[in-house]
């Protein structure tokens, strides 16, 4: 009977804006990871964790401010899809559709983590 159960795993392609990634990194020597880009990526990681925590705790004021932060950081580091989804979640916080907000927050965290993993993979390949 269990062979008839379908499991859906949401996946989404990650898109990166390479000009933004390069400009966020500054002009450090080859082989040296730009500090500003590293700081922004670390801040996105912290924001994604804070978004999950704020959503779980029902702290919508903190959720709103953290969503705005991650949207700005994502734009600055060349993650346009992450910025767009964060903006969508920010709009939903203002409304009363908790189901849609839950889905978009889950998508943001999933897409954010996948995007950061892709950036990390790219940075390792450049070393």
CA angle 85, 107, 89 (to 5 degrees): 40
CA distances from 118 to 41, 55, 88, 121 (A): 12, 25, 22, 5
Distance, in Å, from the CA atom of 64 to the CA atom of 91, rounded to the nearest integer, reads 9
In this predicted model, which residue has the larger pLDDT, 13 or 52?
A: 52
| Alpha-carbon Rg for the chain in angstroms | 16
Nearest to 12 by CA among 86, 112, 95: 112
Q: Does the pLDDT of residue 87 top 70, yes or no?
A: yes
Residue 88 has pLDDT above 70, yes or no: yes
Question: Which among 35, 1, 37 is positioned nearest to 16, based on CA atoms?
Answer: 37
Residue 16 has pLDDT above 50, yes or no: yes
- Residue 58's pLDDT band, with cuts at 50, 70 and 90, is very high
pTM comes to 0.77
Cβ distance 10 to 107 under 8 Å? Answer: yes
Q: Quick check: 23 pLDDT over 60?
A: no
């Amino acid at each position: 009977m269990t062979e008839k159960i379908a499991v859906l795993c949401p996946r989404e392609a990650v898109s990166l804006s390479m000009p933004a990634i390069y400009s966020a990194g500054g002009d450090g020597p080859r082989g040296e990871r730009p500090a500003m880009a590293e700081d922004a990526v670390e801040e996105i990681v912290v924001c994604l964790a804070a978004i999950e925590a704020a959503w779980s705790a029902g702290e919508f004021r903190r959720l709103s401010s953290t969503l705005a932060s991650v949207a700005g950081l994502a734009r600055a580091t060349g993650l346009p899809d992450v910025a767009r989804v964060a903006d969508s979640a920010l709009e939903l916080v203002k409304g009363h559709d908790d189901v849609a907000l839950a889905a978009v927050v889950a998508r943001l965290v999933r897409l954010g983590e996948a995007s950061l993993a892709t950036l990390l993979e790219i940075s390792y390949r450049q070393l």
